[in-house]
A and B are shown apart, each in its own frame.
Chain A
């Protein structure tokens, strides 16, 4: 019984939140990785793109709520998501035309693109704050829990409850669908194949008649979809605040690099590696150990490896360790 209690506590406080967070990071990192693979630079504006996409989705959600449309037990935001993606896609394709296209034609070195993306980051950040303000926004509605801690306790008779929030379940399901769609697109469709060819060898792809501007545009549209979905899921799960999204840039980069920049599979693996290490290293294991150990051995402290404020530091420590041993990440990413 105690063992089961320990297991449930571990699932409830570590596995479930880390899985949801990992899916959000993986979707974010997929966007970063796609831009790196095809446009060949690290996009510092990605966190703010996520914020922008989420903001657009929130505005549509509010509009739907005000005219009485809802999805019943599911959050209305799901219905607003496609519209949010469209707006974000327009923004990204627009920035590409206005900013990045020029440097592409100039054949500028990657680091110039990175600096330009800093500028785009500032502007997107300001746009979001202009439109929706810097404060916390909640937009989750529908059923709160798939199963609540109390229901679980009544059902199983255990001391520990396992709560599964709708948003957590939804995050994982949506992430799986989005990733499946993305891989289907990259592996099976003509455009997807030309994107991969372009990412592998630009010159060869150009020789075989692939239109680079089209590849770039499709990439931005896919990135817009990934960023909006990731941002909206994160916002539903926690809450929406522009500054938090700017900070998300750090673990997202860490995830993309740990997996290997340019490798979609790596981005997903990286997202989960970062999420699980952040949560396990900063979780206080006292409760779990109390169930497992005999009373005499029970720990006095919280049995926390690092305090919760070290979350970002953890993702970067992992990043640096990986860079030391595997300079191009777990899945052998690009290093041009």
Chain B
């Protein structure tokens, strides 16, 4: 690998931006940007794998990230014993029954000859299945949600170490992607896009409404952490003594140490993934993927199973997004289903991949950091700009107030313009594919 000075320079600029934030604003803000940047970079890697390697257009990133977040709750929260005894097994049974009904109707559809009888039988099985499922499911859910609704009202998780949730989150997202891919791959790219958008909305709807699973809009808070708590550090005489001897305020230092610990964990994941992906790209497998992307018909003629490869890469890319989603919830140590918005979790990631350079992993990472930095900092910059523009205006004038209020929308405008400009004038991104 030759070291490319230009690319190094681009990464240097982003590093400088973050350091400047640390110097001008505070190191806490800078490290927060860094941590979210690391998570965004992982997500961008996943999307880049699907779009850059294989040309698959996935607009359901939000759903896969949310599934990763859900995995954190399911893995690391302590189980709620009372809720389990109230209706835990019944819910599991009901879900199992639902699966049996679905499997039965698929079997029916495959076995019976096409025609009116088949449609009729299918409708009867599905309707009967739905109502019997609800008859099993509803009372169990009511029983679980009745257990201390203010504090729990859900089944809780397995009480396992939180780091275990990262691979499990990936697996969960990957499994969902397999289902989506089976249904929607092989359709035209637009259809895949809209199908993934839809699945993401369904995932979020389930997480917002199924209180027994995720507490819904009541949110799950204080998820266990893989790193020490600030308050424990502040109460640790060794830590306080050391920080004071180095000349730092122990309270500030404790939060910085925690953030640095997260940054270390995230960086480890990012680097490991980057290494794996670069290896994959260089292998015969990577060459095959690009061959399929560039000319599907030719690749098919050469005997490559295009549909299978597409499914494979779709599952892998989505699993990476799931891991990133799990990392995010771990860092925030709370799951807020209503915070999943497509603008932030899907379209922003797309801007990262396009701007950074699709097809190039380094580009995706650069895009992740740079766009996240802009996403956070454009708002204060916009406010300063508006303050400058309106400086000459009379205080209290309607236009001045309107302009200052509007500064918040600079964010979307900037993202849109950046995306359009890059797509137009540098469609291969800042660090193009080799």
Residues of A within 8 A of B412 (CB): 122-123, 125-126, 129
Contact status A327-B405, CB under 8 Å: no
Residues of A within 8 A of B100 (CB): none
Does A62 interact with chain B (Cβ within 8 Å)? no
Q: Is A111 an interface residue (CB 8 A)?
A: yes
Q: Is A331 an interface residue (CB 8 A)?
A: no
Closest approach, in angstroms, between the C-beta of A170 and any C-beta of chain B?
30
Instruction: Evaluate contact between A257 and B191: CB separation under 8 angstroms.
Output: yes
A323 to B191, CA, bound (A): 9
Q: Contact between A335 and B416 (Cβ–Cβ < 8 Å)?
A: no
Which of the 9-residue segments B19-27, B197-205, B268-276, B283-291 touches chain A? Answer: B197-205
The segment from A82-90, A219-227, A307-315 found at the interface with B is A307-315
User: Is the beta-carbon distance between A312 and B416 smaller than 8 angstroms?
Assistant: no
CB of A240 closer than 8 Å to a CB of B: no
CB nearest to B205 among chain A residues: A313
Proximity string of chain B (404-429) to chain A, C-beta cutoff 8 Å, 1 when within and 0 when not: 01100111110111011001100100
Say which residue of B57, B190, B206 sits within 8 Å of A313 (CB atoms): B206
User: Which of B150-158, B163-171, B181-189, B232-240 contacts the other chain?
Assistant: B181-189
B208 at the interface (CB under 8 A from A): yes
Instruction: Tell me, rounded to whole Å, the shortest Cβ–Cβ distance linking A69 to chain B.
Output: 23
B interface footprint on A105-125 (CB within 8 Å = 1, 0 otherwise): 000001110111011111111
**With A122-B347, A309-B208, A320-B183 known to touch, is A115 a contact of B423 (CB < 8 Å)?**
yes
Decide yes or no whether A61 CB sits under 8 A from chain B. no
Q: Does A198 contact B (CB under 8 A)?
A: no
Interface residue A254 (Cβ < 8 Å from any Cβ of B): yes
A317-B190 Cα distance, complex, nearest whole Å: 17
- Name the one of B189, B198, B406, B427 contacting A320, with C-beta atoms under 8 angstroms: B198
A residues 254-279 touching B (CB-CB < 8 Å): 254, 257, 261
**Inter-chain contacts of A178 with B (CB < 8 A):** none
A8 vs B283: C-alpha distance in the bound complex, in angstroms? 67
Q: Is the CB of B409 within 8 A of A42?
A: no
Query: A123 contacts B183, CB within 8 Å?
Result: no
B201 x A114 contact (CB < 8 A): no
Interface size on A, residues (CB 8 A): 48
Q: Closest approach, in angstroms, between the C-beta of A288 and any C-beta of chain B?
A: 17
CB pair B201–A119 under 8 Å, yes or no, is no
Q: Which chain B residues in 354-368 approach chain A with CB under 8 Å?
A: 354
Give a binary string over A299-335; 1 marks a CB under 8 Å from any B CB, 0 the rest.
Answer: 0010001010110110111011001100100000001
Chain A residues with CB under 8 A of B175:
none
Known: A126-B412, A257-B191, A324-B183. A118 touches B197 (CB 8 A): no
User: Considering only CB atoms and an 8 Å cut-off, how many residues of chain B contact the other chain?
Assistant: 42
Smallest distance from the beta carbon of B379 to chain A beta carbons, Å?
Answer: 12
Partner of A122, one of B193, B205, B416: B416
Using Cβ atoms and an 8 Å threshold, which residues of chain B touch A116?
420, 423
Q: Are A114 and B206 in contact, with the CB atoms below 8 A? A: no
Kindly name the residue among A112, A316, A317 whose own CB sees the greatest number of chain B CB atoms within 10 A.
A316
Q: Is the CB of B194 within 8 A of A253?
A: yes
Assuming A99-B420, A123-B413, A129-B409, is B191 touching A320 (CB within 8 A)? no
What residues of B have a CB within 8 angstroms of the CB of A130 in the complex? 406, 409, 413
Q: Is B297 an interface residue (CB 8 A)?
A: no
Is A78 part of the contact surface with B, judged by Cβ < 8 Å? no
Interchain CB contact under 8 A, A309 and B205: yes
Q: Does A94 contact B (CB under 8 A)?
A: no
Query: Which A residues are CB-close (under 8 A) to B187?
Result: 323, 327, 335
B413 near A122 with CB under 8 A, answer yes
Partner of A312, one of B205, B417, B424: B205
Tell me whether B350 is interfacial, beta carbon within 8 Å.
Answer: yes
Q: Which residue of B lies closest to A127 (CB)?
A: B413
Q: Which of B208-256 contact A (CB under 8 A)?
A: 208-209
By a beta-carbon cutoff of 8 Å, the part of chain A in contact with chain B is: 36, 41-42, 99, 102, 110-112, 114-116, 118-127, 129-130, 133-134, 246, 250, 253-254, 257, 261, 301, 305, 307, 309-310, 312-313, 315-317, 319-320, 323-324, 327, 335-336
Beyond A253-B194, A324-B183, A335-B187, 9 additional pairs, beta carbon < 8 A = A99-B420, A102-B424, A121-B347, A124-B416, A129-B412, A301-B138, A316-B197, A320-B184, A335-B188
